[in-house]
Amino acid sequence: MSSRGFKHDLFAQFARVGKALSNGNRLELLEYIAQAERSVDELAKVSGLTMANTSQHLQQLRLAGLVSCRKEGLKVFYTLSGYDVIGLLDALRGVAERHVADVERLINAYLTVKDNLEPVPAAELLHRAREGLVTVLDVRPVEEYAAGHLPGAINIPLPELEARLDRLDLHKEVVAYCRGPHCILAFDAVERLRKLGRDARRLEGGFPEWQHAGLPVEDAGESH
Amino acid sequence: MSSRGFKHDLFAQFARVGKALSNGNRLELLEYIAQAERSVDELAKVSGLTMANTSQHLQQLRLAGLVSCRKEGLKVFYTLSGYDVIGLLDALRGVAERHVADVERLINAYLTVKDNLEPVPAAELLHRAREGLVTVLDVRPVEEYAAGHLPGAINIPLPELEARLDRLDLHKEVVAYCRGPHCILAFDAVERLRKLGRDARRLEGGFPEWQHAGLPVEDAGESH
DNA sequence: ATTCTAATCAATTGATCTATTGATAAGTAT
DNA sequence: ATACTTATCAATAGATCAATTGATTAGAAT
C-alpha cells in the first residue's frame, strides 16, 4: 500500500464521522440520545421526523460509530457509543460558536435577555449545592430525569413549572439546567422564574456535559 | 421565532461545520494548514488536487469558520481560525479511531511493525529533552519547521534522512515527530533509523498537538 | 502594453444525500 | 389466525456536492 494511498484512505475514514455530523437532524438526534437511551419512536416523536427517516439517520450514526443500539422486544434502543462522542459534539459546538458569525446572531436574536442570564459554572454549583445554598432544578421531561440527573436535583418538566412552583424553596436561589448549552428549556425556566419574582440562574452546559466532566450523578434508584 | 425553529436553525449552523469535515480532501487540507500558514498553490501541490478544486474546498472551510485567509501580493495564505480547530480535529480522529473498526484495520495493515513503535508521551519527551538525554528530530519539510517546531529540534526532512545522518548524535536516542498522530513521516523515520542501528522512537501526536497542549515552541528566529 | 502567475468564478457532469412512500419483517396481544 | 406496533428495507424524486473545464480577475514583472 502506498503512503499516499494510506493517507487518503485514512482521511476518508475520518470523513465518515464528519459526514455523520453534517446534518442538522442527525445532530438533534445525537443531542436527544446524549440525554438517555432512546427508542426509535421516541426519537421520531421528539424530533418531528418520520419513523423511516429517523431510522435511516440512526443507521448512519451507527455506521459512523457514534451510537450503538440494543433490541428489546419490539423496540430498538439507541445510545451514544462513548463519552468521547459528547466531547466531539462539544468541540463542534465550540468551534461553531466562536467562528461562525451566524450562530452568535441567531443566539442573540432568540435570547434577547441573554446578558441577564449569565450561567453558573459547574464547579460553583457543585460547591454551593453541597452547602445547601441553592435549589438545583431539572426542567427536562421525567424520563430523562429518571435516566440520570444532578445530585439532589428536583425535577419539574418545563410545562408544569408554574403549577408545581411550591416544590421550590422560596428563599433559595434556583439553578436550572437541561439538555445542553443550547437547549432552551433552562433559558425559558429562568426567564419564567424571574417573572415570578424568584432568584434564578441557569447552569453552564447541561446534563451530558456535567456527566462528561466526571461530576457526581444520581439515577432513578436513588432519586428524592 | 418559535422555540422549535430556533433549535432547528441552530443545529443547521452546527451542521455547517460538520459538513466542512465531511470530505477527506478537506480534512487533508486542514492537516496541512495546521502545520503552518499555506498558500493555495502550496496546498494544491501537496494534496494533489487541482488549483480550482483546492480553492473551492478552502472556501468551504472558510465559510464554516475553520480557516481564515490573508492576501499578500498574488498569493492568498490560509491559516486555522484558532487552536480550538485542532481540538476539534483531534476529537474527530479520536472518535473515529475508537469507534470505527475500519480505521484500526487500516492502521494495522499499513503499520505492520506498529507494536514496535510505541510512542513517547509529550510530557516524557519534554522532561528527557531538558536533561539532554534525547535528540528531538523534526522530519517535516523545512518550511513547516521554520514556521514553528519543538525546542531544540533538529530538522531533517524525511527524504534527506540517510544523507544527513551525521547531524544525529550516535549515542543518544532519537525521538521523531511530524504533522500529527497519523502522519506517516515519523513512522517511516523511526523505521529507517532502526534499520541503521539507531535507537529511535516517535512522539505521541505531532507538532500541532504539542502546540495545542501549551508546551514550549520555537520558531525560525530562534532556531539552531 | 504585454505577459505571466495566483486565485477565483461559472457552468457542467456524475455522484451522493435527503425525505417520502409503500412494502416487509419481527415481535405482542387478542 | 388476526390485528397491531415497532422498526427496517427498497425505490424514488429532488436537492446538494465534487471534480473538471474554461474563462476571468488581480497583481507583478518585463
- Which residue, among B95, B108, B184, would best test binding to A if mutated, counting the most A CBs under 10 Å from its CB? B95
- The confidence band for B81, taking pLDDT boundaries of 50, 70 and 90, is very high
**Terminal CA-to-CA distance of chain B, rounded, Å?**
59
| B127 and B31 assigned to the same domain | no
- The last residue of one of the domains, among A66, A85, A104, is A85
A10 vs B106: CB contact, 8 Å cut-off?
Answer: yes
Q: Where are the alpha helices (DSSP H) in chain A?
A: 3-20, 24-35, 40-47, 51-63, 83-99, 101-110, 122-130, 142-146, 184-195, 207-212
Report the distance separating Cα B177 and Cα B108, nearest Å.
Answer: 19
Residues 134-173 of B with CB under 7 A from strand C: none
CA distance B46 to B129: 31
A75 and A123 share a domain? no
Q: Is residue A125 part of a domain?
A: yes
**In chain B, % of residues over pLDDT 90:** 52
Residue A129 contacts residue A152 (beta carbons within 8 Å): yes
Report residues 88-117 of B contacting strand D, contact meaning Cβ closer than 7 Å.
none
Both A77 and A21 in a single domain?
yes
Is A91 inside any structural domain?
no
Closest to A217 measured CA to CA, from A162, A148, A166: A148
A118 and A71 co-located in one domain? no
Decide if B16 and A100 are in contact by the 8 Å CB cutoff: yes
Q: Compute the average pLDDT of residues A33-49.
A: 92
Note if A183 is an active site residue. no
Mean pLDDT of B159-185: 87
Would you place residue A111 in the very low, low, confident or very high pLDDT band (cuts 50, 70, 90)? low
Q: Report, as an integer, the average pLDDT of B8-31.
A: 94
Query: For A199-218, what is each residue's pLDDT tens digit?
Result: 888 898 899 999 989 999 99
Asked if the structure places residue B106 within a domain, the reply is: no
Give yes or no for residue B153 having a pLDDT over 60.
yes
A91:B82 CB<8 A: no
- A53 CA, C20 C1': separation in Å? 9
Same domain, B202 and B125: yes
CATH at residue B55: 1.10.10.10
Q: B115: pLDDT confidence band, cut at 50, 70 and 90?
A: very low
Q: Is residue B184 part of a domain?
A: yes
CA of B169 to C1' of D20 (A): 50
**Average pLDDT of span B117-121:** 82
Q: Which three cell numbers stand for residue B160?
A: 534527506
Q: Looking at the annotation, which residues of B are catalytic? A: 178
A&B contacts, CB < 8 Å: 180
Select from A84, A92, A109 the Cβ nearest to the Cβ of B94: A84
Range of the domain at A144: 112-222
Statement: the CB of B25 is under 7 Å from strand D? yes
The Å distance, CA of A77 to C1' of D5, is: 15
pLDDT of amino acid B1: 41
Nucleotides of chain C in contact with protein CB (under 7 A) are 5-10, 17-23, 26-28
8 Å CB contact between B88 and B95: no
| Bigger pLDDT: B56 vs A6 | B56
Task: Give the CATH number for residue A211.
Answer: 3.40.250.10
pLDDT of residue A221: 64
Residues 8-47 of B with CB under 7 A from strand C: 39-42, 44
Of A15, A87, A101, the CB nearest to B22: A15
Mention every residue, 6+ apart, whose C-beta is less than 8 A from residue B89. Answer: B27, B30, B31, B34
Residues A81 and A138 in one domain: no
Residue A56 falls inside a structural domain: yes
State yes or no: pLDDT of A131 exceeds 60. Answer: yes
pLDDT at residue A114 is higher than 80: no
Residue with the bigger pLDDT between B181 and A91: it is A91
Q: Give yes or no: residues A117 and A194 share one domain.
A: yes
Confidence of residue A56 (pLDDT cuts 50, 70, 90): very high
Long-range CB pairs of B104-108, under 8 A, 24+ apart, other chains included: B106/A6, B106/A9, B106/A10, B106/A13, B107/A10, B107/B182
**For residue A75, what pLDDT band results from cuts at 50, 70 and 90?**
very high
The Cα A52–Cα A47 span in angstroms is: 13
Structural domain contains residue B189: yes
Q: Do A121 and A209 sit in the same domain of this protein?
A: yes
Q: What is the mean pLDDT of chain B?
A: 87
Compute the distance between CA of residue A145 and CA of residue A223 in angstroms, rounded to an integer: 9
The DSSP letter of residue A203 is B
Number of domains composing chain A:
2
Question: Does B89 fall in a domain?
Answer: no
Cα-only R_g, chain B? 19
Q: Which of A46-55, A100-109, A119-128 has the lowest mean pLDDT?
A: A100-109
A77 and A125 both lie in a single domain = no
Q: Quick check: is B144 in a domain?
A: yes
Q: Is the pLDDT of residue B37 over 50?
A: yes
Q: Which whole number is the average pLDDT over B12-19?
A: 95
Nearest residue on chain B to A100, alpha-carbon basis? B65
pLDDT at residue B116, as a whole number: 54
Q: Which of residues 58-87 of A touch strand C (CB under 7 A)?
A: 60, 73-74
- Distances from the Cα of B131 to the Cα of A115, A164, B138, angstroms: 50, 65, 19
Chain A partners of B101 at a C-beta cutoff of 8 Å?
65
Mutate to test the interface with A, among B22, B67, B86, B158 (most CBs of A within 10 A): B22
Is A11 found in the same domain as A74? yes
Cβ of B51 near strand C (distance < 7 A): yes
Question: Is there a contact between A65 and B98 if contact means CB atoms under 8 Å apart?
Answer: yes
B120 and B67 part of one domain = no
- Which among B69, B100, B178 is the top mutation candidate for probing chain A, defined by the most A β-carbons within 10 Å of its own β-carbon? B100
Measured distance CA(B65)–CA(B51) in Å, rounded: 21
Instruction: State the complex-level ipTM.
Output: 0.77
Of B6, B17, B110, the CB nearest to A92: B17
Own/partner long-range contacts of A197-202 (Cβ < 8 Å, ≥24 apart): A198/A168, A198/A170, A198/A174, A199/A172, A199/A173, A199/A174, A200/A173, A200/A174, A200/A175, A200/A176, A201/A117, A201/A118, A201/A119, A201/A120, A201/A173, A201/A174, A201/A175, A201/A176, A202/A117, A202/A119, A202/A120, A202/A175, A202/A176, A202/A177
What DSSP letter does each residue of A96-149 carry, written as one string?
HHHH-HHHHHHHHHH-TTGGG-PPBPHHHHHHHHHTT-EEEEE-S-HHHHHT-B
Query: Are residue A124 and residue A51 in the same domain, yes or no?
Result: no
Strand-pair category, A38-39 with A75-80: antiparallel
Nucleotides of D under 7 A from a protein CB: 5-10, 17-23, 26-28
Question: In which band, very low, low, confident or very high, does the pLDDT at A105 lie, cut at 50, 70 and 90?
Answer: confident
Residue-averaged pLDDT of chain A: 87
Q: How far apart are CA B29 and CA A126, in angstroms?
A: 42
